[in-house]
Amino acid sequence: MSDAYALRDVRVVLGGRPVLDVPALRLAAGATTALVGANGAGKSTLLRLLAFLLPPAAGAVTFAGVPVTYGAAGLTALRRRVTYVASAPYLFRGTVRHNVGYGLRVRRRHDPAAVEAALAAVDLAALADRPARTLSSGEAQRVALARALALAPEVMLFDEPTANLDRDSVPRIEAALAALARRGCTVVLATHDCEQAARLASAAVTLGDGRLLTA
C-alpha cells in the first residue's frame, strides 16, 4: 500500500514553543489511522499539519509521493485534496445548506446533488434550511462532517469527531467514517476513545506531550 503521507524529522513550533516532534511517520493511503493520546498530546497539531494549515518549522512532509513546498501557490491545490473537520467546528453565517455547499462554491462547482447527498448521509436533510448558528453542538458537528463529505476529498482528517455528540448519534457518524474508508478515502482521526480507535482504524499512532510514542 502506498503512503498518503510521509513525515521525516518534522518539528512544529507555535508561539516560539515546540509543540510537535515527529522523527518519522508514514500514513498509508486508503487506510483509517487513529491518532491516540491524552489532551495536549499533539493530535490536533498533527492533524492541522496534515491538513496543510500549519507549516513545519523543520523537516520534510511528502504527500502522495510528492514533497510539500510550503508558501507556494500550490498549497490551495493540496488543501483541496484534504479536508479537516475540527473538534469544535466553525459554522458560517447562513443556512445549513449554505454551509454544506461552501467548499463546492469556492471550487466554482455547481453540484446541488452532492450537497443533498452529504446532508442525507448525516441525516440533516430536514434541517437544511435552518440557520446553522441555531443548531446544537452535535448537529453542528454533523454539518461540519457533511461539509467535508460534499467534497469527497482523497483524505479526511477528523479531530474528535464524536466528542460533542449524544450517544445515539455516535453510531451514525462512525458508520459515515466507515463508509468513507470502504470508498478508499484515507481517514485520520484523533480520538482519546481507544474503543472507537479499535472499531474504526486499521492502524494507530500514539502521541504524548508533542512526541510520537508509537506508530
Partner 1 sequence: MDLGEAVLAALRLIAAADAAVIDAVRVSLQVALVATLLGTLVGAPLGFAVGTAAFRGRRAVEIVLTTLTALPTVVVGLLVYAALSRRGPFGGLGLLYTRSAMVVGQTLLIAPLMATLTMALASGADVRIRETALTLGATRLGAVWTLLGELRRGALAAVATGFGRLISELGVALMVGGNIEGATRTMTTAIALETGKGEFALAMALGLILLAVALLVNLGAAALAASR
**Residues contributing to the site for partner 1 (CB under 8 A):** 48, 51, 53, 76, 79-80, 82-84, 86, 88-90, 92-94, 102-103, 106-107, 147-148, 151
Q: Given the complex with partner 1, which of 68 and 212 has the nearer CB atom?
A: 68
The residue (of 188 and 212) whose beta carbon lies closer to partner 1 is 188
What 3-state DSSP class applies to 105? Answer: helix
Least distance (Å) between residue 7 CB and partner 1: 19
Helix axes 170-182, 137-149, angle to 10 degrees: 10
Of 199, 200, 195, the closest CA to residue 185 belongs to 200
What minimum distance in Å lies between the beta carbon of 106 and partner 1?
4
CB of 39 to partner 1, least distance (A): 18
Sheet holding 155-159, edge to edge: 66-67, 58-63, 3-14, 17-28, 211-214, 203-208, 32-36, 186-191, 155-159, 82-85
Tell me if 198 sits within 8 A of 32, measured CB to CB.
no
Q: List the grid coordinates of 197.
A: 480507535
Q: Is the dihedral of CA 126, 166, 193, 8 positive or negative?
A: positive
Q: Which is nearer to partner 1, 21 or 159 (CB)?
A: 159
Q: Min. distance of Cβ 100 from partner 1 in angstroms?
A: 10
CB of 168 vs partner 1, minimal distance in Å: 26
C-alpha cell at 16: 516560539
Q: Is 2 or 69 the residue whose CB approaches partner 1 more closely?
A: 69
Q: What is the C-alpha to C-alpha distance for residues 21 and 10, in angstroms, rounded to an integer?
A: 6
Q: Which is nearer to partner 1, 66 or 106 (CB)?
A: 106
Residue with Cβ nearer partner 1 (51 or 212) = 51
Cell of 29: 493511503
Q: Strands 211-214, 3-14: parallel, antiparallel or unpaired by DSSP?
A: unpaired
Residue 98 main-chain phi, psi, to 5 deg: -60, -40
CB of 195 to partner 1, least distance (A): 28
